Structure 1
Amino acid sequence: MNNDQFKGMWNQFKGELKKQWGRFTDDDMKQIEGDYDKFKGRLQERYGDKKDEVSQWADRWYQEHGKAS
């Protein structure tokens, strides 16, 4: 997933992100605001050892939902 793809799906993605991975806060969502690099930074802060798992989930989510739009 690249930054443009991430930004385009952000509004749909952020709800699912909070449901699946509860460590992301409302402040995180405001800081990320569709920026994939910021998402990866917050991902490292919140999930450190699980960041690869969350990143893979994000890529799978985009593959499933990005094609529908």
Structure 2
Amino acid sequence: MNWDRIEGNWKELRGKARENWGELTDDDLDIAAGKRDQLAGQIQKKYGIAKDEAERQVDQFAAKYETA
């Protein structure tokens, strides 16, 4: 999985991230800025889930959109 593609297209994909994780605010997505670990951290914080679960969700998101 090539996260660089997602990071490079973050402006386009942030809307998809918002659809996927509706509780994330624009500020949360700005903090993430397309960085995998930052996105997982924001998800973990907002949803109160374990780090490995947040990372699993981010990986699933990446698998869907890495070619966008």
TM-score normalised per structure 1: 0.66
- How much has 1:50 moved relative to structure 2? 7.1
Whole-angstrom CA distance in 2 between matches of 1:48 and 1:10: 24
Give the direction of change, closer, same or farther, for the CA distance of 1:61–1:13 in structure 2 (3 Å limit): same
Alpha-carbon contact 1:3-1:37 (below 8 Å) kept: no
Whole-angstrom CA distance in 2 between matches of 1:55 and 1:19: 17
The structure where helix makes up a greater share of residues is 1
How many pairs does the alignment contain? 67
- Post-superposition, which runs of at least 4 consecutive aligned residues in structure 1 deviate over 6 A? none
Unaligned ranges ≥5, structure 1: none
Q: Taking every aligned residue pair, what percent have the same amino acid on both sides?
A: 30
What secondary structure does 1:49 align onto?
coil
Amino acid at match of 2:61: W
Match of 1:12 in 2: 12
Q: CA-atom RMSD, angstroms? A: 2.5
- How much has 1:7 moved relative to structure 2? 1.1
- Structure number with greater CO (CA < 8 Å, separation at least 6) is 2
Match of 1:61 in 2: 61
Match of 1:47 in 2: 47
